[in-house]
Amino acid sequence: MNILAEINNFEDLKEYLPFLIPLAVIQLGFMIAALVSIFKHHKYKTGNRVLWVILSLCLSIIGPVLYFALGKTDEED
């Protein structure tokens, strides 16, 4: 009985895959770009490297956006 419920849940999930897959790719891209930038630069507007790594990994798409808006400096190292 439980297996049938799981199959129905998967069928419901298939309906949302065209929306979820691009969203997951965008999230992963932002996360990778933010982490590369965090480890490349040594100065930040606010916070430190550990803070930005934790936020980028834990807050999915919001963490990297916050890093690029609030943490990344304009100058190159």
- Structural domain count, the chain: 1
Which residue range(s) make up the domain with 9?
A: 2-71
Query: Does 26 reside within a domain?
Result: yes
The one-digit pLDDT tens for each residue of the chain (77 residues) are 455 555 567 777 788 788 889 999 999 999 999 999 999 988 888 888 999 999 999 988 899 999 988 888 876 65
Q: How many residues does this entry show for the chain?
A: 77
**Alpha carbon distance 56, 70 (integer Å):** 12
DSSP-derived letter for residue 73 is -
Output the pLDDT for position 34: 92
Distances in whole angstroms, Cα of residue 18 to Cα of each of 23, 38, 39, 77: 9, 31, 33, 40
**Alpha carbon distance 24, 33 (integer Å):** 14
Rounded to a whole number, what is the distance in angstroms from the first to the last CA of the chain? Answer: 59
Query: Does 13 reside within a domain?
Result: yes
